[in-house]
Amino acid sequence: MSASASIPNAPWSYLGHDVYSVSSRPVQDLSDSQINDGPAVLLVHGFGASTDHWRYNIPVLSREFEVHAIDLLGFGRSAKPSELDYGGELWKEQVVAYVKERIRRPTVIVGNSLGGYAALAAGAALEAESAGVVLLNAAGYFSDEKLSRKPTTLNARLRQFIALGLSRDLLVKWLFYPLIQRLIFENLRRPGVIRSTLQQVYIDPTNVDDDLVESIRRPSLDPGAFQVFRKVFQARGLKGKPIDELFKDLQAPLLLLWGDRDPWLRNAKAKQDKFRSFAQQASLEFKEVLLTAGHCPHDEIPERVNEEMLSWLNGD
């Protein structure tokens, strides 16, 4: 499958820090009847990814819709300041600000994994300015879950591993803890490790190519990347509202797309059931589609994801 590049947007900053984004629109020589006058679409990547992860989605979605993609602070080509409190609240507010300041029209927010939580939280906060939310294997927790439960993702397991027995005194906390984190960070950003991890995350590894590996490795070389890694791994949860509370606040339609063979989620079916149950309890207008894919279905099986999103966006 071929991918085409979208156009980088004019510089924009949030909290005084540069944010990278791209956009694409229907070509201008289409007739009025061929151009969709529906909402804009904003794509939000997951942990360690960037706007590049939407390489197969932007060209297709932008045939009918104005499409934007954004690099969350700390990731991709966006700034990586060490002083920020990284987590769901920061990224939610960043997405909200982007919609209000740059898109300035009702927007459907699409998010994968960690970006799914940011998309849902932003969609709930935008109220009438949210035209819908699409969640692809979204991260997050529910009110009846404890944040200290057994880790269910690679990132959570690593965070628990590096924390065990390493905070008993200041010497260990301030000397050995950062050293171990640094060693883990250096290992995780090696091209071979990135490729191996992605091949575990994608059920069909066909699209795990050099471009994808480089899109994840390149930002890890930026100044500040290690400090972002440390803060994200030391954080307890996403520092935001539980999913069920966000569902109660959401006023827009919801599309749940699941790669139902996600190897990063323990008891993936149970998690899907909870999303469905709480969406029903919140009386949301929602649709759920199960896809044969892993944690990132939008890049693993983009044709199916694009088909489902376009159908839903067009009200079919």
pLDDT at position 5, please? 58
In a domain, 45, yes or no: yes
- pLDDT tens digits, 175-184: 456 677 778 8
| Cα-to-chain-centroid distance, residue 95 | 11
Spatial distance between the Cα atoms of 74 and 206, rounded to a whole number of angstroms: 28
pLDDT at position 129, please? 95
Spatial distance between the Cα atoms of 51 and 77, rounded to a whole number of angstroms: 9
In a domain, 107, yes or no: yes
Query: How many distinct structural domains can be found in the chain?
Result: 1
Domain hosting residue 139, numbered range: 7-148+238-313
CA dihedral defined by 259, 263, 264, 269, rounded to 10 degrees?
Answer: 60
pLDDT at position 235, please? 64
In a domain, 275, yes or no: yes
Spatial distance between the Cα atoms of 237 and 222, rounded to a whole number of angstroms: 25
pLDDT greater than 50 at residue 32: no
pLDDT greater than 80 at residue 169: no
pLDDT at position 150, please? 52
Which position has the token pair 């994608």? 202
Split at pLDDT 50, 70, 90, the class of 237 is: low
pLDDT at position 151, please? 54
Cα separations in angstroms, 30 against 22, 34, 36 = 22, 6, 10
In a domain, 221, yes or no: no
Spatial distance between the Cα atoms of 175 and 279, rounded to a whole number of angstroms: 45
pLDDT greater than 60 at residue 199: yes
* Residue 169 CB contacts under 8 Å (≥ 6 apart), including other chains: none
Split at pLDDT 50, 70, 90, the class of 165 is: very low
pLDDT at position 48, please? 92
In a domain, 63, yes or no: yes
Q: Which of 102-116, 203-217, 223-237 has the lowest mean pLDDT?
A: 223-237
pLDDT greater than 70 at residue 155: no
CB 46, CB 115: distance < 8 Å: yes
Q: Give mean pLDDT, residues 73-101.
A: 96
Spatial distance between the Cα atoms of 250 and 222, rounded to a whole number of angstroms: 36
User: How do beta strands 40-44 and 67-70 pair?
Assistant: parallel
In a domain, 185, yes or no: no
CATH for 50? 3.40.50.1820
Average pLDDT, the chain: 87
pTM summary value: 0.87
In a domain, 308, yes or no: yes
pLDDT greater than 50 at residue 306: yes
pLDDT greater than 70 at residue 152: no
Phi first, then psi: what are they for 135, rounded to 5°?
-110, 125
Amino acid, single-letter form, for residue 96: V
In a domain, 189, yes or no: no
Cα separations in angstroms, 188 against 192, 197, 217 = 9, 9, 9
**Could you report how far apart the first and last alpha carbons of the chain are, in Å?**
25
pLDDT at position 160, please? 44
What is the 3-state secondary structure of the chain? CCCCCCEECCCEEECCEEECEEEECCCCCCCHHHCCCCCEEEEECCCCCCHHHHCCCHHHHCCCCCEEEECCCCCCCCCCCCCCCCCHHHHHHHHHHHHHHHHCCCEEEEEECHHHHHHHHHHHHHHHHEEEEEEECCCCCCCCCCCCCCCCCHHHHHHHHHHCCCCCCHHHHHHHHHHHHHHHHHHHCCHHHHHHHHHHHCCCHHHCCHHHHHHHHHHHCCCCHHHHHHHHHHCCCCCCCCHHHHHHHCCCCEEEEEECCCCCCCCHHHHHHHHHHHHHHCCCCEEEEEECCCCCHHHHCHHHHHHHHHHHHCCC
Split at pLDDT 50, 70, 90, the class of 213 is: very high
